[in-house]
Amino acid sequence: MDKVIVAKDLSLAYSDDETIINKANFSIDSGSFVFITGASGSGKSTLLKSLYGALKPKEGSLVVGGVELNGVSSSKLNFLRKHLGIVFQDYKLVKEWTVEKNIMLPLIINGYDKSVTQNQVDSLLKHVKLRHQAAKYPPELSGGEQQRVAMARALAHNPILILADEPTGNLDDYSSQVIWNLLEGANEQLKTTVIVVTHHIPETMGVRYKHYHIEFGAIREVL
């Protein structure tokens, strides 16, 4: 099976004197569903940041979607990010754009045709049950609704890899269920690799998944 992520002796740090992840070795198969857990401050979000190139490896090698992120150029990083779908804990929606335009963002960046873009956005709005909110701005929505918009945006361009940082952290049950359904659907139907950083793995997951745990800077698979 193809590997979408390969890490060799990967060390991550924000400063020279404090290493968050220490010489980690792991790989993730294409099309798999992966949970990464760990205590607060263990380095889960740091690892996720390194996967979309927001934090460069301190040491070792990290290959995501065939792109080596250690010493990556900005053009190569942009190329990789165009094929990623990222869901952030704080949503990261553009406040001055409508819900519709926020979902369009990856499609615009990837140069999709206007009619394709509109159809895709309409379909996603239906899936996240926010059709009636299309013309609203993020600050006018609840946290759960904003996270569903962020989820729709992450799925818009059929990415090869979805990276989600605590996607249901503070959400109500309804919004959480919508998010999990979408992530499972993308993984099952589109064979998209999904990596979710979370504190708790939902009890009723509809897909097979792998579980990695981070502790004291080391990453180990939980069998």
Q: Would you tell me which residues interact with another protein (CB under 8 A)?
A: 14, 49, 52, 54-55, 74-75, 77-84, 86, 92-97, 105-106, 108-110
Smallest gap from residue 106 Cβ to another protein (A): 5
Residue linked to tokens 């605590």: 166
Q: Would you say 108 or 222 has its CB closer to another protein?
A: 108
Distances (CA, A) of 197 to 34, 147, 155, 187: 9, 15, 17, 16
Q: Would you say 55 or 194 has its CB closer to another protein?
A: 55
**Exposure pattern of 188-206 as b/e (b: 16+ CB <10 Å)?**
eeeebbbbbbbeeebeeee
Q: Would you say 92 or 210 has its CB closer to another protein?
A: 92
Q: 181: exposed, middle or buried (C-beta count within 10 Å: 0-12, 13-18, 19+)?
A: middle
Distance CA 87, CA 89 (A): 7
* Contact predicate 74/66, CB 8 Å: no
Q: Would you say 106 or 167 has its CB closer to another protein?
A: 106
Q: Would you say 82 or 220 has its CB closer to another protein?
A: 82
Smallest gap from residue 145 Cβ to another protein (A): 18
Smallest gap from residue 92 Cβ to another protein (A): 5
Smallest gap from residue 99 Cβ to another protein (A): 14
Smallest gap from residue 109 Cβ to another protein (A): 5
Residue linked to tokens 């159809």: 119
